[in-house]
């Protein structure tokens, strides 16, 4: 594989990792925000 | 020029508008092919008529106003404004011919609602709309979310003057120095997520028991409307139709991803993953969602509408997220929202809708970035009051990674606020004695 091709492959792998991180972080952030909201609600109730 | 357009101006605007109108005609190829694939004869004819109208109007404009002159800023602004109007006017033709709209005005409303990603629909008997028409409605939304000019820049427009159209569409963020590369990157992100999101929704649909073709089409359409924070759906009951936890989880993720700044996508895709945590917009968005959800949950809890955590997530949290990013997808009946939710929860969802998503995204509202800048400016003002009068308070509106770029590539809102902050920073130092103390402040 030529160096240009290797560079492209590296960029694609980096982008794929970025997409995976984005999706996971989105799910995680949503879960954290929901649980924090739920905890605030319980704290107010008690 | 605006007050007294000359023939030269009209020629430039007419010629460039013709190019966009031809592009709108070419977009109709997708619903046309859908109609052919599903043997929907009448909708195929509708799209042939629509395409004929677009192509003849577009080529007529190009022939009548043919010119080789380059557009200026004012021409770009006028072409962008007229493109949206012309696109909605012409896109309404096949919708009107479908027979699912009471009048041309209703079809025009539907088309404009799609392009502007508003999501309001006036379709009669939406549940029995042909696949070709549903494809067109959702495709309009997908195109409108990215911007008609961005589409044209990616696939159609050549030559200089591209940036004038881009700015004319109220966008001046540039991810790359070349505006055409920026437009292509925006489409790359949207198409990659289209493949991922539509596949996930397809699998969720299959698991629900939908037929494979139906699961694929519904997945594709729901993704298009969720990513562009639009809100169109192929069923009148919206997301409630599916009664699926999986569908709800996927659409929440897609809506949130669609509300993120394209520059953030670029940063993460090119290896700068920590930007997710540093980005001021993501922080503001999360805090705002948390705050509005807490108020909404308190309102729902007071009335005892959803006692369990799962029900609260699927109903309360979903409506807050959907409202916050401006999608408008719903997992409850409209009557429930009006009669059962109560005033507090309703106000929380409305407040969430006002905030919106990130700048340079498909989301609406007043944008998280502006809210973040507003709060930081407020905090800086308070600090200035607390510190001695000779103190110079450094104002940082951006995170380290963006500050390091010295404003290049960052949002124009940040640049403008920085210019403003630089000016206000200099003023107190003019009359201050040499060697005045500085109180540098950390980024908030």
Q: Which residue in A has a C-alpha nearest to residue B314's C-alpha?
A: A34
- Rounded (10°) CA dihedral B163, B169, B173, B178: -20
Give the pTM: 0.84
DSSP single-letter state for residue B365 = S
Which residues of chain B does A37 touch, with a Cβ-Cβ cutoff of 8 Å?
290, 293-294, 297, 317
Phi, then psi, of B393 in degrees rounded to 5: -90, 120
**Is B253–A23 a contact, with Cβ atoms under 8 angstroms apart?**
yes
Count Cβ–Cβ pairs < 8 Å, chain A vs chain B.
Answer: 68
Q: What is the value of ipTM here, to two decimals? A: 0.82
**Is B265–A14 a contact, with Cβ atoms under 8 angstroms apart?**
no
**Rounded CA gap, B245 and B330, in Å?**
13
Position B399 pLDDT exceeds 60: no
Helix, strand or coil, per DSSP, at residue B393: strand
For B323-349, how does the pLDDT look when each residue is reduced to its tens digit (9 = 90+)?
999 998 999 998 999 999 989 999 999
Q: Kindly state the tokens that stand for A42.
A: 């319980």
Q: Kindly state the tokens that stand for B434.
A: 């040499």
Looking up tokens 């997301």, which residue turns up? Answer: B239
Helix, strand or coil, per DSSP, at residue B270: coil
- Compute the average pLDDT of residues B78-90: 91
DSSP single-letter state for residue B160 = S
Which residues of chain A does B321 touch, with a Cβ-Cβ cutoff of 8 Å?
30
Helix, strand or coil, per DSSP, at residue B261: coil
List Cα–Cα distances, B437 to B99, B257, B312, B426, in angstroms: 73, 44, 52, 14
DSSP single-letter state for residue B240 = G
Nearby residues of B217 by Cβ (< 8 Å), 6 or more positions away:
B131, B134, B135, B234
Contact B230, B144 (CB under 8 A): yes
Q: Is A24 on the interface with B (CB under 8 A)?
A: no
CA distance B394 to chain A (A): 31
**Is B297–A41 a contact, with Cβ atoms under 8 angstroms apart?**
yes
**Rounded CA gap, B348 and B296, in Å?**
5
Is the C-alpha dihedral spanning B234, B235, B236, B237 positive or negative?
negative
Q: Is A25 on the interface with B (CB under 8 A)?
A: yes
Nearest to A22 among B257, B290, B294 (CB): B257
Position B160 pLDDT exceeds 80: no
Which residues of chain A does B301 touch, with a Cβ-Cβ cutoff of 8 Å?
41, 45
B158 pLDDT band, cuts 50/70/90, is low
CA angle A12, A18, A19 (to 5 degrees): 90
pLDDT at B423: 41
Number of C-alpha atoms within 13 angstroms, CB side, residue B189? 32
Nearest to A22 among B268, B290, B312 (CB): B268
**Rounded CA gap, B118 and B1, in Å?**
32
**Rounded CA gap, B22 and B152, in Å?**
10
B105 pLDDT band, cuts 50/70/90, is very high
pLDDT at B436: 33
**Rounded CA gap, B90 and B333, in Å?**
33
Of the ranges B101-110, B287-296, B300-309, which one carries the lowest mean pLDDT score? B300-309
Q: Is A14 on the interface with B (CB under 8 A)?
A: yes
pLDDT at B407: 42
Position B63 pLDDT exceeds 50: yes
> Among residues A29, A33, A46, which one has the least CA distance to residue B312?
A33
> Among residues B422, B414, B417, which one has the least CA distance to residue B394?
B422
pLDDT at B438: 35
**Rounded CA gap, B270 and A13, in Å?**
10
Tell me which of A22, A40, A45 to substitute to probe the interface with B (most B C-beta atoms closer than 10 Å). A22
Q: Is A33 on the interface with B (CB under 8 A)?
A: yes
Nearest to A18 among B256, B268, B313 (CB): B268
**Is A29–B270 a contact, with Cβ atoms under 8 angstroms apart?**
no
**Is B270–A22 a contact, with Cβ atoms under 8 angstroms apart?**
no
Q: What percent of chain A has pLDDT over 90?
A: 4
Mean confidence (pLDDT) of chain B = 84
Contact B167, B255 (CB under 8 A): no
B79 pLDDT band, cuts 50/70/90, is confident
> Among residues B348, B344, B345, B313, which one has the least CA distance to residue B331?
B313
CA distance B20 to chain A (A): 32
* Largest Cα–Cα separation, chain A: 65
pLDDT at B123: 93
pLDDT at B408: 45
List Cα–Cα distances, A6 to B55, B271, B367, in angstroms: 43, 16, 39
Position B318 pLDDT exceeds 90: yes
- Compute the average pLDDT of residues A20-39: 88
Listed ranges B172-176, B200-204, B407-411; the one with the highest mean pLDDT? B200-204
Q: Is A31 on the interface with B (CB under 8 A)?
A: no
CA distance A46 to chain B (A): 13
Of the ranges B11-15, B261-265, B406-410, B412-416, which one carries the lowest mean pLDDT score? B406-410
Tell me which of A12, A21, A33, A44 to substitute to probe the interface with B (most B C-beta atoms closer than 10 Å). A33
**Is A37–B321 a contact, with Cβ atoms under 8 angstroms apart?**
no
For B68-77, how does the pLDDT look when each residue is reduced to its tens digit (9 = 90+)?
888 888 888 8
**Rounded CA gap, B316 and B300, in Å?**
8
**Rounded CA gap, B90 and B50, in Å?**
7
**Rounded CA gap, B4 and B201, in Å?**
52
**Rounded CA gap, B387 and B437, in Å?**
11
**Is A41–B301 a contact, with Cβ atoms under 8 angstroms apart?**
yes
**Rounded CA gap, B218 and B211, in Å?**
10
Nearby residues of B162 by Cβ (< 8 Å), 6 or more positions away:
B153, B179, B180
Contact B331, B319 (CB under 8 A): yes
Position B261 pLDDT exceeds 60: yes
């Amino acid at each position: 594989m030529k160096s240009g091709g290797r560079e492209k492959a590296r960029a694609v792998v980096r982008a794929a990792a970025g997409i995976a991180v984005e999706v996971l972080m989105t799910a995680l952030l949503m879960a954290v925000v929901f649980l924090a909201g739920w905890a605030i609600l319980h704290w107010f109730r008690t | 020029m605006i007050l007294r357009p000359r023939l030269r101006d009209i020629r430039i605007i007419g010629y460039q508008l013709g190019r966009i109108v031809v592009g709108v005609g070419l977009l109709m190829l997708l619903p046309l092919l859908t109609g052919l694939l599903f043997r929907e004869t009448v909708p195929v004819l509708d799209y042939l008529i629509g395409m004929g109208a677009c192509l003849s109007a577009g080529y007529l404009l190009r022939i009548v106003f043919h010119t080789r002159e380059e557009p200026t800023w004012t021409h770009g602004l006028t072409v962008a404004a007229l493109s949206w109007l012309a696109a909605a006017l012409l896109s309404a033709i096949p919708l009107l011919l479908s027979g699912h709209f009471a009048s041309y005005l209703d079809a025009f409303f539907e088309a404009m609602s799609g392009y502007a990603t508003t999501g309001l629909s006036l379709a009669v008997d939406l549940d029995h709309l042909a696949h070709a028409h549903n494809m067109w409605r959702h495709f309009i939304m997908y195109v409108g979310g990215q911007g008609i000019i961005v589409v044209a820049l990616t696939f159609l427009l050549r030559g200089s003057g591209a940036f004038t159209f881009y700015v004319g569409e109220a966008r001046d963020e540039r991810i790359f120095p070349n505006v055409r590369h920026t437009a292509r990157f925006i489409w790359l992100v949207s198409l990659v997520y289209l493949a991922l999101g539509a596949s996930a929704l397809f699998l969720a649909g299959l698991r629900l028991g939908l037929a494979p073709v139906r699961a694929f089409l519904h997945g594709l359409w729901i993704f298009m409307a969720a990513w562009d924070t639009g809100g169109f759906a192929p069923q009148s009951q919206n997301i409630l139709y599916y009664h699926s936890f999986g569908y709800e989880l996927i659409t929440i993720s897609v809506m949130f991803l669609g509300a993120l700044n394209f520059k953030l996508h670029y940063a993460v895709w090119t290896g700068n993953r920590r930007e997710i945590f540093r980005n001021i917009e993501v922080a503001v968005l999360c805090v705002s969602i948390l705050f509005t959800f807490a108020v909404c949950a308190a309102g729902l809890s007071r009335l005892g509408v959803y006692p369990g955590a799962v029900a609260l997530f699927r109903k309360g949290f979903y409506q807050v997220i959907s409202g916050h990013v401006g999608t408008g997808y719903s997992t409850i009946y409209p009557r429930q929202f009006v009669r059962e939710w109560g005033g507090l929860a309703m106000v929380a969802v409305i407040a969430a809708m006002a905030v919106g998503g990130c700048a340079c995204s498909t989301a609406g509202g007043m944008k998280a970035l502006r809210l973040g800048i507003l709060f930081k400016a407020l905090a800086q003002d308070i600090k200035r009051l607390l510190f001695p009068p000779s103190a110079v308070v450094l104002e940082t509106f951006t995170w380290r990674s963006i500050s390091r770029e010295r404003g290049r590539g960052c949002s124009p809102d940040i640049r403008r606020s920085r210019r403003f902050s630089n000016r206000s920073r200099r003023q107190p130092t003019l009359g201050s004695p040499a060697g005045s103390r500085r109180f540098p402040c950390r980024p908030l």
